Chains A and B, each alone.
Chain A
Amino acid sequence: MTAAVRAVRRHVLTGYAVLALAYLFLPIGVVVAFSFNNPKGRFNFTWQGFTFKNWTNPFGYPGVSSALKVSIEIALASSFFATVLGTLAALALVRYRFRGSGATNLLIFVPMTTPEVVMGASLLTLFVNWRVPQGFGTILIAHILFNISYVVVTVRARLVGFDRHLEEAAMDLGANEWVTFLKVTLPLIMPGILAAGLLAFALSIDDFVITYFNAGATITFPLFVWGAARVATPPQINVIGTAIFLVATAGMLANIVFQNVRARRAAAVGV
């Protein structure tokens, strides 16, 4: 095989990857572009001219800001609780052998195979039967529920590749189990936990179906968009969509940079 053929092959693959990424970003480009649209009516369907005014007044529609606030609160709270519960479960599953681990695996796996409609409707049945008033609390319960499984599998993937000798070394040096956990285990699996938290946040802030069944009178941002879409598609929705995208991306980027810096510092120390 000649070098030329190799070079072509290399570029073919790179070209393909670039095209695939472009495909992923194509609709996002449209969303961003239309956040600068200037329609006179309430529909944002066709290009009517460029303006910054949507960006200077993103909350022009009452209800948008409170819906967004609810979404962010739910996403933060549900990703926090799901991450705690899921991480504990992942530790148990990877670190211990115990009776019932098969059933536990199944219990974690099945919710991921359950269609959202089914999960949403069955939760609604539960809340009605137990006479739990629907609202913020029931949305939170539902979001924690569907996030737990994803957190478990994400953190577990990190734990499986974990070098146990590091913990042993710590203990040999006199650390007790709790200190070892805090000073060795936790920092090492932290990237996995953060990734799980981010994933849970993303799943939560975008969820529509399960939320719809269990929202009561509470409105989240996706519910607002859905409801408004029948009446109007204000460009402000694109502005907020773009903003969530930018903030989340920045958050993940910061995580990557942070990990890279830590890795480099560790490498410099020579560990």
Chain B
Amino acid sequence: MTETFTRAELLRRAGAGGALLTVPGLLAACGGSSTKASTTSAGSTQALPKTITFSNWPLYIDVNQKTQSHPSLVAFEKHYGVHVKYLEDINDNDSFFGKIEGPLSQGQSIGRDLIVLTDSSGLPGRMIELGWLEKLDKSAIPNIKNLQPTLRHPGWDPNRDYSLPWQSGMTGIGYDPKLTGGPVTSLHQLLTDPKLKGKVTLLTEMGDSIGIAMLENGDDPAHVTDATFKKALDMLQKAVNSGQVRQFTGNDYAPLLAKGDIYACLAWSGDMVQLQADHPGLKWVLPDKGGMIWTDNMLIPKGGNAYAASVLMNWYYRPEIAAEVEDYVNYICPVVGADKVLEKSDPAVAKNPLIFPTKQMLANAHEFDVKAVNNPKYKKQFQALIGG
């Protein structure tokens, strides 16, 4: 049936190739001045626990290869005198949810204060509905003001009461101009250009493939209706039947594109940053009529220490800390001001529109309707399309 276990899920995290440029001066600088500011502005007298447990995806935070440590976390521990147990144990939204739902449904703690899940999987929204998340302690997160304006009001958590983005990414079109003989700028072209026949892949994520098809049709992917869903589905079905579409993939389009097995595909921005490091000729664009944006969200599972988790969130919403993470991860930074910090230390990253998209790009990137993702009827129809 579905994308379950593999890369098919949300495998779109990436980062810069091993080379990691920490921001040594910055840390020292911020350690001094902003310290007091944050404690006072937090305005809370609560005590932090000895240990905060934070589950994240692998290779999704800054790394110092020499010391094999995560500098931004080390700095946090030093600053607050707490230990952060950092686990890289989330491989896949669904499987991770499968692991934690047992205890959570029985009212047991899962032993974590902070976890990171993707909005387009539908799971963060579902956890809110099930009452499995703690509210953020916003009094401890003054830096929430640095959240990208476009990410402030997602449909599934309109006031960000339960979630804060860790990273985000965009879904657009990746292609190799040497093989396509020119730019590929629309889904229409992807699905009909005879030069691309059999050399095109789409994504097994419903929100990505259906979402972009809806935009192509001029429909709103944030509010899916039976009619707009069907129209998008039919358009993709036609291209599948004609043999234009080779297959639906998770991020396994990446080796295919790198090796020239496919010419163009729906692709995630973060993967492209990595691919471009070795294949500078590859291009990535948001389709003319718009692409999709998704976020990986920090969430506090029931039983976690909401205050401590919020303090940690606040730390990562400091522009200089966010910049340090971003310099390694190379996805899209949700924290305003991080690019300013990086302009001095690593201008190449700061100027990369795949990492710090322009306002125009952000305006052209849309969220997908989370309710539609959780709708079993749509799920089934989409599965029939990709597996039929």
Between A and B, 8 residue pairs with Cβ closer than 8 Å are: A42-B277, A43-B254, A43-B274, A45-B254, A65-B68, A218-B89, A231-B15, A231-B57
- Chain B positions 213-238 with a Cβ under 8 Å from a chain A Cβ: none
Do A42 and B17 contact each other (CB < 8 Å), given the known contacts A133-B111, A216-B99, A229-B11? yes
A99 within 8 A of B: no
What would 13 more interface pairs be, CB under 8 Å, given A39-B278, A124-B99, A128-B102? A42-B15, A43-B278, A45-B259, A46-B278, A60-B65, A61-B59, A63-B88, A124-B98, A212-B5, A212-B91, A223-B91, A227-B58, A230-B13
Inter-chain CA distance A134–B101, complex, in Å, is: 13
Contact A62 B89 (CB under 8 A): no
Taken residue by residue from 19 to 61, chain A's Cβ proximity to chain B (1 for < 8 Å, 0 otherwise) reads as 0000000000000000000011111011010000000010111
A window 209-237: CB within 8 A of B: 212-213, 215-219, 223-224, 226-232, 234
Question: Is B302 among interface residues, defined by CB-CB distance under 8 A?
Answer: no
Assembled-state Cα–Cα distance A157/B10 (Å): 46
Interface centre among A61, A62, A215, by most B CB within 10 Å? Answer: A62
CA distance A231 to B17 in the complex (A): 11
Chain B residue with Cβ nearest A60? B65
Q: Which of B11, B55, B279 contacts A217 (CB under 8 A)?
A: B55
Shortest distance from the beta carbon of B10 to any chain A beta carbon, whole Å: 8
B11 touches A40 (CB 8 A): no
Q: Which residue of B60, B88, B103, B277 contacts A128 across the interface (Cβ within 8 Å)?
A: B103
Contact present for B259 and A62 (CB under 8 Å): no
Does the CB pair B90–A231 fall under 8 Å?
no
Query: Which of A45, A59, A217 is within 8 Å of B68, CB to CB?
Result: A59
Cβ distance A242 to chain B, nearest Cβ, rounded Å: 18
A63 and B65 contacting across the interface, CB-CB below 8 Å: no
Q: Are A219 and B88 in contact (CB under 8 A)?
A: yes
Q: Report how many residues on chain A are interfacial, defined by Cβ distance under 8 Å.
A: 38
Report which of A41, A61, A218 forms a contact with B278, defined as CB distance below 8 A.
A41
Q: Does A131 contact B (CB under 8 A)?
A: yes
Query: Residue of A at shortest CB range from B101?
Result: A128
Are A212 and B95 in touch, CB under 8 angstroms? yes
Q: A42-B15, A230-B12, A230-B251 known; A63 and B58 CB under 8 Å? A: yes
A42, B14: Cβ atoms closer than 8 Å? yes
Nearest A residue to B270 via CB reads: A231
CB-contact partner of B57 in A45, A215, A227, A234, under 8 A: A227
Within the assembled complex, what's the spacing in Å between the Cα atoms of A128 and B98? 11
B87 within 8 A of A: yes
Give chain B nearest CB distance to A188 CB in angstroms: 44
B255 at the interface (CB under 8 A from A): yes
CA distance A209 to B276 in the complex (A): 33
* Interface contact A131-B18, CB-CB below 8 Å: no
How far, in angstroms, from A67 to B95 measured CA to CA in the complex? Answer: 19
Q: Is the CB of A234 within 8 A of B18?
A: yes
User: In the complex, what residues of B have CB within 8 A of residue A40's CB?
Assistant: 17, 277-278
Contact A229 B7, CB 8 Å, known A217-B87, A217-B89: yes
- Is there an interface contact between B258 and A43, defined as CB atoms closer than 8 Å? yes
Task: Write the nearest CB–CB distance from B5 to chain A, whole angstroms.
Answer: 8
Interface-central residue, B11, B57, B92, B274, by most chain A CB under 10 Å: B274
B341 at the A/B interface (Cβ < 8 Å)?
no
CB-defined contacts of B60 to chain A, threshold 8 Å: 231
